[in-house]
């Protein structure tokens, strides 16, 4: 929470109580953590386990050349089942916890398979920012998202949830444009590449038709955000005049539009030297 819809679930504690009463657990996807960093704790909302995606909130690449990684944290209810070995502090010394100490553990984990550099980079990033800096991350992430939301709304784009403020991200939908102009979220995304912008997430979450999930993050300047809005406005003007401009984009990149259907049906999963 906030959800992938870009809104904060205000009744999350009520939802958590209902789930817990039925014997269920709440799992938190830390991909949206930069919206609440230093502001809200998932445990206070009622979540039982959280995985923190270092690649979004803590300044690391997505995978960074290897398996992505990050901490998974749990509450007291799940402590008996946590994997081993674990380290515990007893008085002024540390020791391993083994199967004898944790008979209900799910078992041993394999050797570390993630990317160690990812963890170090995230650690240094957090230490450099400090407590106040980490709080500013969420403040600026939310500010940037709501600024973009307001500007795109004023420009005539359709918000998926017009009565709600954005968290660190928000959704616009091209459902109407797909019917009236014949252009899709994919077409807009491809045309954005010609304007120098990497396209936002498309078609996720799936429950919003022709979904465009926009997440500016805390690092983009007002000049960049304004340039993005102007690019979107120009693309819509092009769509109204000649939709084929969008349908055949991008034009300026080394690789033009790929055949997604062919790629999905004719998988090429290995390299074969000639």
Neighbours of 160 (CB within 10 A): 21
pLDDT on residue 64: 47
CA distance 85 to 229: 51
Q: CA of 95: how far to CAs of 2, 34, 78, 124, in Å? A: 38, 34, 20, 26
Residue 119 lies in a domain: no
* Regions of the chain where pLDDT drops below 70: 61-68, 110-114
Residue 180 lies in a domain: yes
pLDDT on residue 247: 95
Per DSSP bridges, beta strands 27-29 and 201-202 are: unpaired
Residue 212 lies in a domain: yes
Please tell me the total count of domains within the chain: 1
CATH of residue 232's domain is: 3.90.1150.10
pLDDT on residue 32: 80
pLDDT on residue 259: 84
Residue 90 lies in a domain: no
Residue 163 lies in a domain: yes
Residue 67 lies in a domain: no
Q: In what order do the strands lie in the sheet with 170-173?
A: 170-173, 211-214, 201-202
pLDDT on residue 56: 75
Residue 62 lies in a domain: no
State the residue range of the domain holding 226. 132-263
What's the pTM? 0.86
Residues ≥6 apart with Cβ < 8 Å to 40: 1
Q: CA of 66: how far to CAs of 94, 112, 115, in Å? A: 31, 12, 6
Q: What is the pLDDT of residues 53-112, one digit of tens each?
A: 787 788 776 644 555 677 889 999 999 999 988 899 999 999 999 899 999 999 887 666
Residue 167 lies in a domain: yes
């Amino acid at each position: 929470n906030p959800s992938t819809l870009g809104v904060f679930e205000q009744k999350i504690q009520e939802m958590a109580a209902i789930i817990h009463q039925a014997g269920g657990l709440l799992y938190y996807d830390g991909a949206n953590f930069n919206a609440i960093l230093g502001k809200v704790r998932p445990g206070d909302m009622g979540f039982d386990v959280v995985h923190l995606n270092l690649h979004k909130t803590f300044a690391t690449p997505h995978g960074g050349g290897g398996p992505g990684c990050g901490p998974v944290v749990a509450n007291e209810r799940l402590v008996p089942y946590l994997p081993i070995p674990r380290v515990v502090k007893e008085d002024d010394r540390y020791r391993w916890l083994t199967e004898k100490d944790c008979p209900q553990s799910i078992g041993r984990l394999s050797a570390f398979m993630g990317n160690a550099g990812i963890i170090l980079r995230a650690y240094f990033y957090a230490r450099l920012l400090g407590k106040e800096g980490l709080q500013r991350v969420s403040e600026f992430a939310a500010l940037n998202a709501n600024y973009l939301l307001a500007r795109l709304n004023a420009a005539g784009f359709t918000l998926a949830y017009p009565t709600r403020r954005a968290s660190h991200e928000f959704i616009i939908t091209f459902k109407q444009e797909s019917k009236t102009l014949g252009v899709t979220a994919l077409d807009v995304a491809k045309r954005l590449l010609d304007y120098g912008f990497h396209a936002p997430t498309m078609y996720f979450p799936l429950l919003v038709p022709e979904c465009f999930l926009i997440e500016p993050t805390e690092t983009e300047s007002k000049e960049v955000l304004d340039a993005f809005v102007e690019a979107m406005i120009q693309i819509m003007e092009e769509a109204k005049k000649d939709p084929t401009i969008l349908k055949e984009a991008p034009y300026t990149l080394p690789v033009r539009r790929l055949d997604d259907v062919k790629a999905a049906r004719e998988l090429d999963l290995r390299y074969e030297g000639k």
